[in-house]
Structure 1
Amino acid sequence: MNRLPLNGLIVLEFSQYLSGPSAGLRLADLGARVIKIERPKGGDPCRQLPVKNLWVGNDSLNFHAINRNKESFTADLKNKEDLELVKKLMRKADVVIHNFRPGVIEKLGLAYKDVKAINEKIIYAEITGFGRRGPWAQRPGQDLLVQSLSGLAYTTGNGGDAPVPFGLSVVDSICGNHLVQAVLGALVRRQKKGIGAYIELSLLESAIGIQFELFTTLFQKTEGIRRSRVNNGNPLLGAPYGIYKTADYYLSLAMMDLHQLAAALDSAALKTYSREEVFQKRDEIKSLIAEKLKKCTTAYWMNRLRQQGLWAAEIYNWKDLTNAGGYKVLQMEQSLGTEHGTVITTRCPIVLNGKKLVSSKAAPALGAQREAIIKQLIAD
């Protein structure tokens, strides 16, 4: 695509690991020139954070997944000469992103007030773990720790079981998405009114924000929220919502009329429950369904459930999914060309004007574009 929406915009990314870099990745996919500002020694620590001990040259495969389509500019921000170079870059930039702990960026002289003095129309976005103030402000903003403190670990697993974290860095990702939303809104306002913006996000606020249904329910119900003791799928939803074992594998049942489900399962017992009892007797009903589903295969039950027009699905692992027609038609894979060989990763999920947003540009080697950036954006 020759003209992406953010073509011509320059984003400086002072970020590490996932939350800030995931936002930079999406802005790059939309056409922005994203320049990672990295320490000369080591760079983004994510370069040394492998997934399943997989590497591409000296960098982790994980780093390549999150930082494709970007450039790397090395700078020691405690060095006056390097700091001056970065400030000159900021005069040309449209957006600055960082995810330092509170107090770090101020010591470097690159807080919002400092950058605004350099570039009045800058859009400055920062991510902290728990906000800039309060007793948790200096805690490490790491995804699992935020899941633990935010209640997210109690949305998964059965009631009575130990809390269960999501199997991916869901808070980092959603906070990165929130940052992109805020930046795009600020860009629209700047286009209309000619003013910049100071955007503050925290992992904890994003984690709370995506649980708006749970918290709204909590605020209204003094007895609190409880997970199903069997086949929990969502602590707010009644039977049959959840994942169930069949004779040969698993399937999932979403929201549905219990009497229609009773017909699909040929269960007289299920027909005796009223609509209100799907909440009041949730565990009892789910236990009946679980016992029934164990008697036949997933394919058998899926056929009967589809005949009733009920919302159900087989359970796929990642290999199952990538072999499925529903996956293949989406064309979610793209190739990145690196000096160490080809890396296959996922593309941006956005389709714009009928075009999938793909790019073969791999993650940058540490400092690879420093000299070019100095010549293009600083030397003049």
Structure 2
Amino acid sequence: MAAFAPSLVTMNHAINIMQQALNGVKVLDFTQLLQGPYATQMLGDLGADVIKIEKPGSGDIYRSMTFFNQWVGGDESLCFLPWNRNKRSLAIDLKSTETVEIIRGLIKQADIIVENFRPGVMERLGYGYDTCNELNPGIIYCSATGWGADGPYQNRPGQDLLVQGLAGVVMASGKQSDGPVAVGTALSDQLGALHIVYGVLAALYHREQTGRGQRVEVNLLQSVLAYSMQDFFTVQNGARAFTRPESGIAHPGNGAPFGIYPTADGYLSIAMNPWPKVVEALDEPTLMRFNDPQVLFDRRDEIYDHIATITLTRKTEEWLEIMLALDLWVAPVNEQKAVENDPQVQYLQAFREIEHPKAGRIRVTDVPIRLSETPGDIKRPPPLIGQHSREILEEYGISGEDIDHLLKTGVVTEEAVG
């Protein structure tokens, strides 16, 4: 495996020259948008050599989408950049007859393939599981879909919001009178990515023991259903169905005080706590009349209003000081702009700055897990389209003359840095 270029190290984060957990693992990344790219980025964070296969000219679909119609570095997407670090980009036409043997050669040397096309697309391209397994019996081949590889919905478009709706997640947040409320982040995609990673790593461990690869299938729908397992367990095993309260209690199965409360200068989260301690913190003895688990559930809207009236009388920091002194489960509610200034977030160094060849210095979330012997790291910024095309093809034995021909015909493209 080619070494990562040291010139792409983060501006203020020195590289540790040490073994990473997935050093030597080669990943062919046929994914786009969020679910697949986040999964392969996690593998790259742990040292895998991730080759992102992109369409010449346009690349990953997420390169053409962004938030607020804003771009960085001219035309770099706010949606693409967060999910594609620690990868090299090979821009190659998968439909060209000239590239078949090249892709087959990459497959023969790969450890892992991840793809998130609709079911059947990789087979039509000639790179389905059976073909790849024949070329490389040790291959771990992960297909990630929206609804599953087969079944009545297999040909439907699968997307985060659609899955949140079908899986019922949108009926678990907000107030009953609000109607369905979607989670304000790509929950389905990110859970799907985590399932890809744990499935792939389990298959990799199995291959170490047996020498045999296997197919891994992940879909957004089951990823979200698994995430909601305690809720479905409750509903399906004889208990009542969840009903959202009007107070916006943070989970429809919980009673007071579980929720988010206004303060004099912001908001405060209050989780499950012994009611007498909550009453003590609020310094309102009359609230002890609600000290019964059934009452705290049945009258949670009324109780929420009582608490909110009191929390509005002090600032968030004042309440934190009072409540944390009683060991209550509480925390401030931060606006997104304020999150990186939170003392614990800063202590964890959860964000860091990296250098991108077009966008310049960009702030990203750091690798979120710590491994004492094989730490993850960010050694490459998100690539330009085909930035590493020549480099990758040379590594896999394609002659310079053949690469020049492929570049000239546009079957392969390369975007230069600088």
Distance 1:246 1:355 in 2: 44
Contact preservation (8 Å) 2:20, 2:375: no
Distance 1:375 1:301 in 2: 62
Matched position secondary structure for 2:368: coil
- With over 3 angstroms needed to count, the CA separation of the structure-2 counterparts of 1:105 and 1:354, relative to structure 1, is closer
- Corresponding residue number in structure 2 for 1:365: 384
- Corresponding residue number in structure 2 for 1:28: 44
The 4+ residue runs of structure 1 with deviation greater than 6 A are none
Counterpart amino acid of residue 203 in structure 2: A
Counterpart amino acid of residue 201 in structure 2: L
Counterpart amino acid of residue 277 in structure 1: V
- Corresponding residue number in structure 1 for 2:302: 284
* 1:341-365 per-position Cα deviation (integer Å, ceiling 9, x unaligned): 2222111111111776332411111
Within the candidate set 144, 160, 166, 1:143 is matched to 160
- Corresponding residue number in structure 2 for 1:294: 312
- Corresponding residue number in structure 2 for 1:330: 348
Contact preservation (8 Å) 1:98, 1:127: yes
Q: Which moved more, 1:172-181 or 1:358-367?
A: 358-367
Aligned: 1:347 with 2:363: no
Contact preservation (8 Å) 2:245, 2:301: yes
Counterpart amino acid of residue 287 in structure 1: D
Q: Which moved more, 1:239-248 or 1:270-279?
A: 270-279
**Identical-pair percentage:** 36
Matched position secondary structure for 1:313: strand
Contact preservation (8 Å) 1:72, 1:369: yes
Distance 1:49 1:292 in 2: 44
Distance 1:221 1:159 in 2: 22
Distance 1:178 1:110 in 2: 22
Contact preservation (8 Å) 1:262, 1:270: yes
Aligned: 1:379 with 2:398: yes
* 1:138-164 per-position Cα deviation (integer Å, ceiling 9, x unaligned): 221111111121111122212221211
Q: Which moved more, 1:293-302 or 1:206-215?
A: 293-302
* 1:267-317 per-position Cα deviation (integer Å, ceiling 9, x unaligned): 233201213322232223222222222233323322321232211112111
Within the candidate set 299, 305, 310, 2:328 is matched to 310
- Corresponding residue number in structure 2 for 1:258: 275
Q: Which moved more, 1:300-309 or 1:33-42?
A: 300-309
Contact preservation (8 Å) 1:75, 1:83: no
- The two structures have a TM-score, normalised by structure 1, of 0.95
- The two structures have a TM-score, normalised by structure 2, of 0.87
Question: Structure 1 regions of 5+ residues with no counterpart?
Answer: none
- Corresponding residue number in structure 2 for 1:182: 199
Matched position secondary structure for 2:134: helix
Matched position secondary structure for 2:261: strand
Of structures 1 and 2, the one with the larger relative CO (CA 8 A, separation 6+) is 2
Counterpart amino acid of residue 359 in structure 1: I
Contact preservation (8 Å) 1:337, 1:360: no
Contact preservation (8 Å) 2:119, 2:149: yes
Contact preservation (8 Å) 2:46, 2:377: no
Matched position secondary structure for 1:349: coil
Distance 1:269 1:291 in 2: 14
Distance 1:222 1:271 in 2: 28
